[in-house]
């Protein structure tokens, strides 16, 4: 193979890799992720579902007995320090559970992380 053909094939491979990278960036830009305030004592799946544009909660794990997502990402304000802490919410739970040291805290005011695009693979 001549040096010219080798250089040309390297350029084609690089351009192909670049276009694959750009297409995945374009897809990622269409994915919206936002924090929604959990009102009316709703769990994260219900909170996200109420919003017409961002309607799917971001799951963190699957219950192996049911095969369904069991934990969803949330954030709550820890009452003692006032800091926002990440936690989890489950089906039917109206709090965001987080831990600090040896203490478990159940925040009643919390935000759920939701997405608009498609249901995460964990739901399928």
Give 69-119 pLDDT, tens digit per residue.
Answer: 889 999 999 877 788 999 999 988 999 999 878 889 999 999 999 988 665
Burial (CB < 10 A; 0-12, 13-18, 19+), residue 75, is middle
pLDDT score recorded for residue 33? 86
Contact between 62 and 121 (Cβ < 8 Å): no
Statement to judge: residues 23 and 38 lie in one domain: no
Statement to judge: residues 21 and 53 lie in one domain: no
CB within 8 Å of 78: residues ≥ 6 apart: 84, 85, 98, 100, 105, 107
pTM: 0.67
Statement to judge: residues 14 and 71 lie in one domain: no
pLDDT band at 20 (very low <50, low <70, confident <90, very high): very low
pLDDT score recorded for residue 38? 93
Contact between 72 and 27 (Cβ < 8 Å): no
Statement to judge: residues 22 and 5 lie in one domain: yes
Statement to judge: residues 46 and 25 lie in one domain: no
pLDDT score recorded for residue 30? 67
DSSP state of 90: -
pLDDT score recorded for residue 4? 45
Statement to judge: residues 36 and 5 lie in one domain: no
Mean pLDDT of the region 12-24 = 41
Name which of 37, 35, 33 is nearest 94 in CA terms: 37
Statement to judge: residues 40 and 24 lie in one domain: no
* Count of domains observed in the chain: 2
Statement to judge: residues 10 and 46 lie in one domain: no
Domain that holds residue 88: 32-123
Residue 124 has pLDDT above 90, yes or no: no
């Amino acid at each position: 193979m001549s040096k010219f053909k080798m250089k040309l094939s390297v350029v084609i491979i690089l351009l192909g890799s670049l276009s694959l990278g750009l297409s995945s960036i374009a897809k990622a830009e269409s994915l919206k992720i936002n924090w929604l305030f959990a009102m009316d004592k709703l769990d994260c799946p219900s909170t996200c579902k109420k919003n017409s544009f961002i309607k799917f909660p971001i799951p963190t794990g699957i219950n192996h007995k049911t095969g369904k997502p069991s934990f969803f990402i949330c954030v709550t304000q820890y009452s003692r320090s006032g800091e926002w802490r990440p936690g989890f919410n489950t089906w039917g739970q109206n709090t965001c559970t987080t831990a600090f040291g040896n203490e478990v805290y159940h925040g009643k005011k919390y935000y759920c992380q939701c997405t608009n695009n498609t249901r995460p693979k964990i739901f399928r």
